[in-house]
Amino acid sequence: MAKPKILGNLGEGIAASFLASKGYTIVERNWWTRVEGAGRREIDLVCEHQGILVFVEVKTRREGGFQDSLDALDDTKRERLRQAAEAYLDAHNRLDAQWRIDLVAVTAGKKDTGEIRHLQGV
């Protein structure tokens, strides 16, 4: 059984390869900052696609697990992602950039099987 961090890293690698195959440029992985009064905020993948900055949350679950990857993105997590995206834009002097937040859900199956779902603009 894979440990959560190992599974998460595996999922992020799968998601990065998947997005690159779709024409996304991976700008950064695991970018994080502290947001005043709110604590640490992290973005799994920062990408660029067709002139738009795309902040990607990667959710990885094992096949047959208890929770679907898509269910893990609740309103609280969405707000934290928005805060992280705005902090990234500010830190990189890109406040005028077009941007969105995407979710890539990876369901890791046995051996090399699995499923990838990409939802834009969550």
- pLDDT tens by residue, the chain, 122 residues: 456 677 778 889 999 999 999 999 999 999 999 877 778 889 999 999 999 999 999 998 877 655 555 666 788 889 999 999 999 999 999 999 999 999 999 987 666 557 899 999 98
pLDDT at 38: 73
pLDDT at 113: 58
Residue 3 tokens read as: 């440990």
CA angle 103, 54, 23 (to 5 degrees): 95
Structural domains for the chain: 4-119 (3.40.1350.10)
**SS percent in the chain: helix, strand, coil, step 5:** 30, 40, 30
Beta bridge partners of 28: 46
The SS3 of residue 42 is strand
pLDDT at 1: 44
Produce one character per residue of 60-83: b if its CB has 16 or more CB atoms within 10 Å, e if not. bbeeeeeeebeeebeeeeeebbee
pLDDT at 20: 97
pTM of the model: 0.86
pLDDT at 42: 92
pLDDT at 5: 75
